[in-house]
Structure 1
Amino acid sequence: MVDIITSMPALFYKESSLMKFVLRKCSILKSPYKPTLWSINGHIQTILTVLWPIQRDLKCKRQYLQVDDGGLVALDWVLPSCCKTSEKINMKSPLVIVIPGLPSNTFVVNDICDMARNCGYRVVIFRKRGQDGLPLTTPKLQSIGDCTDLRETVRFIREQYPKAKLNAVAYGYGTGLLMSYLGEFGSSADLSAAVNISPSYNMQQQFDDVFRNPYNWFMLQYAKLQLSYHAGALLKTLDCDSAFSSSSLSEFEQNVYAKMYGIQDMEEYWDKNNPLREVDEIAVPLLCINSLDDPICHASKIPYDLFTMIPNAILVTTTHGGHCGFFQHLKPDSWANRLAIQYLDSVLQFVHLEDGFKRNSRL
């Protein structure tokens, strides 16, 4: 049992100068991941991300952003925890955009926000249209692969902090949006680094049958609950009765998002929404973290070979960790979040050294 608990993370990547630098700097990868003894089971890890009662002292200031089509998204700017952390932050401080999964307010999201701000990052949580208390100002919700709102958000943040290095960390369901964004915009994504924690690489396979994965049933009920808040605003756009009677996530996508986007053929829908549809175009340094006991994103669905072909992308897998959990220590925090921060730090250090080398070469 001890050998299983303390197994080393497995790494999959293509050799590059960036990867050598990152692996040298990320000390957390040189030791085994040791889950908290009471959270060895992947199901327990997964459930605790939502039900764990101890939350970080997280206060946010909400900023609303109206995008081009009239839709409304929100940016929850995480406030400094004390004067000392406030002194670390300035207009040039690196910035982390956090993209939650489902549900959006979980222990690990609060944990990464607290961890990042204490390390000198400015932190903002991206809230999608129609979620987290946002009114629906247009008869449209955002599909998995529609990057339009995120693109406008990144541009807006860039205008506010033109000298800051922008980064993104996404969880679970939210990784589909970030992966789609990275592929669709490639070298113009305007991010220095990105991290996906517990990503699903092929959403179509995951959503196909609710009975193959009991967690899909809970996700389906949550999606229906979110839809119910805006049913009145969507009556002219959707057949809400069909949406609420959907028996699988795949059927829900067809009855809600495919109809909303005017797509009748689900093959076409997934061509436009699958997170890996333009994976070859990803140019931003990328870290993906998966556990092999994740009950939602199964180990058999992880495209290991992909990471040996994409430049500056690395996959880290652990034996334990569940879905977005990765709990460690008696006073729990997230091992994956600590790795995410070390990874962002190392990439930014590498970029800084590269920029300095280029400047010196021109002199």
Structure 2
Amino acid sequence: MKFRPSFFLPTNHQQTVMNPLLGPLLRFYNRVQLKREVFKFKDQGQTAIDWVDVIPSDLSQQDGAMNKKELRPIVVVVPGLTSNNNEIYMLNLLIEAKKKGFQGVVVNYRGASEMELSSPQLYCAASSNDVREPVEYIRNKYCLNSKGQQIRHLYLVGNSMGAGLVANYIGEENDKCFIRAACCIQPPMKMWITGQAIANNFYGAYDKAIGSNLVRKIQKHADMIHDNYHQNFGVDLKKHLQEINTVTAYDHHITSKVFGYGTRDNYYDKASSIHKVPHIDVPTFVLFAKDDPVIGEGSIDYEICKQNPKILLGVTDHGGHLGYFETFMSTQQWFVKPVFEYLSKIKEMDEDNTPIEAKL
């Protein structure tokens, strides 16, 4: 399976920019109905869990026969740093999930997708617990019956920073991970490389674009969290939000301090999923584009991935960042094909009761 970029979108920057430009078009013509469930973290924070079409039945209260819809495997999709549930790549994944017989669901970030913060806690590239807790909740309520028996499998797909979070989470869980299979789409495997790529590519335009989106998102909650950040971390949040215009500056002044890393360099090192990839113990498809102007080609570690037999690494020459547009006249994105070819193959094995080692 080979990606061939549109003749009219040959460069990585064109592929990347088409992502936000085509989003409104897809939302208008292919509306995905989402049903919201509010999830509470153990620290009293909250986030939105958005289900495609319908919130499933609570299987933890059942032990009898289930209907076909209740037996569909669940695929949890995690967005990128400043993204919500309605980004074009998120919608394309959810649309394809439904076509392939999966129950799609989005785990959003704190304070995102029109959710208010209920605690001062935000999120960063090391916040794997913000994936862990909602995913455990989904498994316990919607995948296990009242006897604790697994009724259906749970899959996990992460995009960009969300892919890094997914890799960190399943790596931390190691052989205790209950996820059936995962896909990590363009993860910032080496965040120090990603930081350089964001700051240097396209005259720093990505640094400014991502930074301004992040600042806008945090400003909505500034009144609630400002005093806490000032008292506990010595961070003058409102002042920084007025002055910051790049994501690398945000990480320097805010993220590294609030999450206890001290410096941006230390944060980028500690949050990088490259440290957790060797410990991943579930089938995982990792996809990169060599020309990704946000993640950076240097973030791809072929040797580390090769050393882990659970990882299937896919690398394309082109694609940009979450672009992968084969034609200028469509909102479809190519990367969705290999993602669901991989997940569907594993789903097929489970339905045939075939050991995964026999076919992968």
TM-score normalised by the chain length of structure 1: 0.82
Of the three residues 296, 300, 313, the one matched with 1:315 is 313
Aligned length: 322
2:52 is the counterpart of 1:78: yes
How many Å apart are 1:246 and its aligned residue? 3.7
* Aligned counterpart, 1:349: 348
- Partner SS, residue 173 of structure 2: helix
* 8 Å contact kept, 1:95–1:165: yes
* Aligned counterpart, 1:239: 236
| Distance of 2:356 and 2:272 partners within structure 1 | 38
Change (3 A) 1:89 1:97: farther
* Aligned counterpart, 2:17: 47
How many Å apart are 1:70 and its aligned residue? 0.3
How many Å apart are 1:312 and its aligned residue? 1.7
Q: 1:193-272 counterparts in 2 under 5 A?
A: 193-207=181-195, 211-213=199-201, 214=204, 215-236=206-227, 237=229, 238-240=235-237, 241-246=239-244, 248-266=246-264, 268-272=266-270
How many Å apart are 1:290 and its aligned residue? 1.4
| Distance of 2:249 and 2:320 partners within structure 1 | 26
Change (3 A) 1:46 1:180: same
How many Å apart are 1:154 and its aligned residue? 0.9
Aligned-residue identity in percent:
25
Of the three residues 105, 114, 120, the one matched with 1:133 is 114
Structure with more relative contact order (C-alpha pairs < 8 Å, separation 6 or more):
1
| Distance of 1:211 and 1:261 partners within structure 2 | 22
Q: 1:148-167 counterparts in 2 under 5 A?
A: 148-161=129-142, 162=144, 163-167=151-155
Change (3 A) 1:353 1:187: farther
2:77 is the counterpart of 1:98: yes
Of the three residues 285, 288, 291, the one matched with 2:289 is 291
* Aligned counterpart, 1:338: 337
- Partner SS, residue 157 of structure 1: helix
Moved more, 191-200 or 245-254: 245-254
How many Å apart are 1:156 and its aligned residue? 0.9
How many Å apart are 1:270 and its aligned residue? 4.0
2:92 is the counterpart of 1:111: yes
Counterpart of 1:233, as a letter, is M
How many Å apart are 1:343 and its aligned residue? 0.3
Counterpart of 1:41, as a letter, is T
How many Å apart are 1:344 and its aligned residue? 0.3
Counterpart of 1:69, as a letter, is D
How many Å apart are 1:182 and its aligned residue? 1.5
- Partner SS, residue 37 of structure 1: coil
| Distance of 1:89 and 1:46 partners within structure 2 | 38
How many Å apart are 1:250 and its aligned residue? 3.5
| Distance of 1:34 and 1:235 partners within structure 2 | 47
- 1:241-299 C-alpha deviation (Å, 9 max, x unpaired): 13543464343124322332344355553454222222221111111111222211222
* 8 Å contact kept, 2:278–2:305: no
| Distance of 1:342 and 1:357 partners within structure 2 | 15
Of the three residues 326, 329, 340, the one matched with 1:328 is 326
| Distance of 1:209 and 1:357 partners within structure 2 | 37
* Aligned counterpart, 2:60: none
* Aligned counterpart, 2:162: 174
Counterpart of 1:255, as a letter, is H
Counterpart of 1:217, as a letter, is K
- Partner SS, residue 38 of structure 1: coil
| Distance of 1:78 and 1:251 partners within structure 2 | 36
How many Å apart are 1:194 and its aligned residue? 0.8
Change (3 A) 1:265 1:40: closer
The Cα RMSD (Å) is 2.4
* 8 Å contact kept, 2:158–2:183: yes
| Distance of 2:141 and 2:109 partners within structure 1 | 20
| Distance of 2:332 and 2:110 partners within structure 1 | 29
Gapped runs of 5+ residues in structure 2? 55-66, 145-150, 230-234
